[in-house]
Structure 1
Amino acid sequence: MARSIILLLDSFGIGYAHDAEKFGDQGADTLGHICEWMAANRKNADGSPKYLALPNLAGLGLAAAAELSRGQKLVHPLSKDDSKVSGAYTYAEEISHGKDTLSGHWEITGVPVLFDWGYFPVQPKCFPKELVQAIIEQGKLPGVLGEKHASGTEIIKELGEEHLLTGKPIIYTSADSVLQIAAHEETFGLERLYELCKICYELVKPYHIARVIARPFVGTCAADFVRTGNRHDYAVPSPEPTLLDKLVEAGGSVYAVGKIADIFAHRGITKHYPASGLDNLFEAALQAVREAPDNSLVFVNFVDFDSSYGHRRDAKGYGEGLEYFDGRLPEMLALLKPDDLALITADHGCDPTWSGSDHTREKIPVLFFGKMVEGCALKPMATFSDIGQTLAAHLHLQPLANGTAAELR
């Protein structure tokens, strides 16, 4: 029986969406701007530009999908011949109200977010006083630090030493619907941090916040503080059954790699493979594909493209991360069975050359591949849910509530 595999490159947009202006993102282009940055700033030994090289992704249709989305070719080819394509490619646009992680993933799996999340205002002391007081009281804390919008790496440099001295956790937010809590993994304690996040998850429900995220870190001072791989997301569950729920209800299996289980509130998950870092995530993805039985979905989120490169506006790191992923793709291709349908896609953009540090409203690549897929251009997808509907059809499930399945043959 059939299997499906989703390799989601978190934040890998391929050109601004039709409604990007509403989000302040008209002109954003994660892939296009990385190509331009690498060509302008990276050199070969002879001094010539060292272009972004993604031959395996190009072979699955990435350059062609980007041209379809952007209305023009990338500034340079991603391979020696971008015209040789073995995948079925296109792009998809988002109809969810936000450009956040949950909205993107839920819409891909058939549940667009057609309501507005709650957000904390961009101002000092951004959290309501009654919420902060409840966190302190129920968490039995001496107080809290932060209480503002901030970069997660910068705020631990700014307040980490005070946190060590006082025992006060650092609470902060971003442009997403989220409350994040940073605390030292050893002195504050990892389990204590998780318990505090569970308390906060309940406390933020009246504010319609999508996620509470535990952000543990280690180190002795601002110069060497670093976040660990023990992040944990406490996410609101999808209001409707997703592709994952439908598959498990039908007797199939969902093998979740990285933060996928957290994103779906551990619902519709058969087995979870925790991992962090591109190398470890790819190894876990390979393991999941080896172990996944027939009638299953392997769903992988490569979070580093978003958290380590996009939000940190690191175009070089993003480009080199893409090249690393591309270099390992043949290992994944070698594991595919004759009836497997694999997909490379994203959940939103996060242009590393854009102002600020937030996500960008972009179209996402849709690259279907496998032994049963013929190389061709597909119609552009009007909603991310067309992806989930296509996978549902491949897995012989009843149609999802949203989306139109693409014809791959």
Structure 2
Amino acid sequence: MERYRPALTGITIALVGFGSSFAVVLTGLQAVGASAGQAASGLIVLCLAQAAGMIFLAYRYRRPLTLAWSTPGAALLASTGTGGYGWSELVGAFVVVGLLILLTALWPALGRAVGAIPAPIAQAMLAGVLFSLCLAPVEALFGDPLWIAPLVLIWVVMQRWLPVFSAPVVFAAALLLIAVELPWGSQISTATLLPRLEFVLPEFTGAAIVGLALPLYLVTMASQNIPGAAVISSYGFHVPWRGALTVTGLGTVAGAAAGGHGVNLAAITAALGAGEEAHRDLAQRWRATAVAGWVYALLALCASALTMMATHARPGLLETVAGLALLSTLATSVSAATSEPAGRIPAAAAFLVAASGITALGIGAAFWALVAGLVLWWVFVPRGRASVAD
């Protein structure tokens, strides 16, 4: 049985990673104005980028370096909305995010600068971004209890007994509910089920770069790459920081034109690949992430069909799946944001600004949340006591 553990764990990594946040990514891409075809294209290219990146890193370094799409980044997109940006401007912002990740790999000082952002401020901004998304299940439950209550009940039961599978199981249950109401027949053609990439020429504007690309980069670094590296290191593996960031940065740049918003180190599923579940022998655990990469390549073939189903979902259903999937992340972010007593007021300010969804000077709330939090942190927190996001 031991010889099959890497394969079984790799399949689990891919299914949990995909199922737990598929709804979040799709919600985020559609919120910023992507059509159904563009959203499906984004999902496909993200799966392919993760697949290629994990397979390369696994064989290159022989370490369980699990990749994921940026779930906090997708949540940021969902909370930002179109923001007055065109889809080509958003694609340009995705390219900039990839370039910033590449720059971080090549210029260590940039990584140190990101790590110097107080962790409570970064987590408060993320909590503010997640707040409206996590309200969706509450609103949907009271608006359509017959369809939403079963999903909430399934989530509660799974959280109690098998929390790691709670989001994928709720996602599968939602697909069954959607299938019941699908207009099977002439309204669904075979063409809509086949995977297809839709490329858009990126457009670079200052407002999109400052208002979206910069917060997206910071959220991805602070909430995915840095914690992901910490998780892998905690199992006794040295993380090739430059190599991992180079691969994820290139993957983000390469996938941006097709709608991919960001690829990064996994922070949650990383533990599955690096732990004893993958193999008793540390030297063999990299095989699980290699298998996960191949499974992601297969999942890319399903993205168009899943997107088609999601576009036919009744209002609130997909948002409920996304909100339930993000609830534990919200709880963790709120806890981290209030961990520093002297920094609670700056963190609260950052949370409120991010949750407000305001846009000023063409720049979204996430950026202003960082500004407000950092300014108040400088005012209220004595030097030398600041916690950092490392």
Q: Same fold (TM over 0.5)?
A: no
Structure holding more helix per residue: 2
Structure holding more strand per residue: 1
User: Could you say which TM-score interval applies, normalised by the shorter chain?
Assistant: under 0.3
Which of the pair has more CA radius of gyration? 1
